[in-house]
A and B are shown apart, each in its own frame.
Chain A
Amino acid sequence: MKITLELFGASRDFSKNDYLEFEINDQTSIKGFKEILSTFIDKKFKGNVDFKKIIESSAFCSEKNEIISDNYKILKEQKIGIIPPIGGG
């Protein structure tokens, strides 16, 4: 199934668009999705260490705008947001 990953903050450097799309298996966890993202960085950006750190330190949010944990299972096609470390004001 298709997942659209909305990019924010430093993760915007992952793409020229505001989002990335991935084909993933049903019931993939956020932890598993992070590994898919990490593989994407390996292929697209030669394993860019800074980009991998962004993935490791990020939270993720569901299309209902709730922060979701590593154990959260993705059960249907949806938008997910990556939330890198924050610092506004």
Chain B
Amino acid sequence: MLHTKVIDIKEKKLSITEAESFISSFDFGASIFFSGTVRNQNDNKNVTGITYDSHDALVIKSFEEIYNEADQKLNIKDKTVFIEHAKGYLNLGEISIIIAVACKHRDQAYVLSRYIIEEIKKRSPIWKKEHYSNNESNWLKGNPILYEKN
């Protein structure tokens, strides 16, 4: 079972409680909650906030692909996964991403959670613009996305 969403931060904030509610099940003995938050330092600069931008349709598509790949690559068939990512301006400490996974056993849950965040970093079209205490701002350099088809 999978839940995915890109959340416009002007409309609502990401909620661990919602993630917990979605993955909760007597079928699973292990749950992992990962949240990414805005921190106050990057490359020796004082960060005051981050604006997240997203190609929503491609992001959701990438989340679904990553979830489905877990069957083949990780051989984790029984699982529930909740992935939400924020878009818009976030202050320090606010949550930009929640990945919640539930599996039968802890080994699977740890592996799956780590796999999902690393693949999102590589493949999901999301961008960060950092804002600094000197009122400057900067889009962070990322990784080029690979072509899928010709």
Contact = CB atoms under 8 A, between A and B. Distances in A.
Interface residues of B, number: 34
A68 B58 CA distance: 13
B120 A69 contact: no
Interface residues of A, number: 24
Interface string A4-18: 000011101100000
Contacts, number: 94
A61 B145 CA distance: 11
B78 to A, nearest CB: 26
Interface string A56-72: 01110100011111011
Given A57-B144, A59-B144, A8 B55 contact: yes
B61 A65 contact: yes
B140 to A, nearest CB: 6
A84 B144 CA distance: 7
Interface of A: 8-10, 12-13, 57-59, 61, 65-69, 71-72, 81, 83-89
19 contacts: A8-B55, A8-B127, A10-B127, A59-B145, A65-B55, A67-B145, A69-B147, A69-B149, A81-B55, A84-B139, A85-B141, A86-B123, A87-B121, A87-B126, A87-B143, A88-B85, A88-B124, A88-B126, A89-B117
Given A88-B52, A88-B124, 18 more contacts: A8-B54, A58-B144, A59-B146, A59-B147, A66-B148, A66-B149, A67-B148, A68-B147, A69-B147, A85-B141, A85-B143, A85-B144, A87-B127, A87-B142, A87-B143, A88-B125, A89-B117, A89-B126
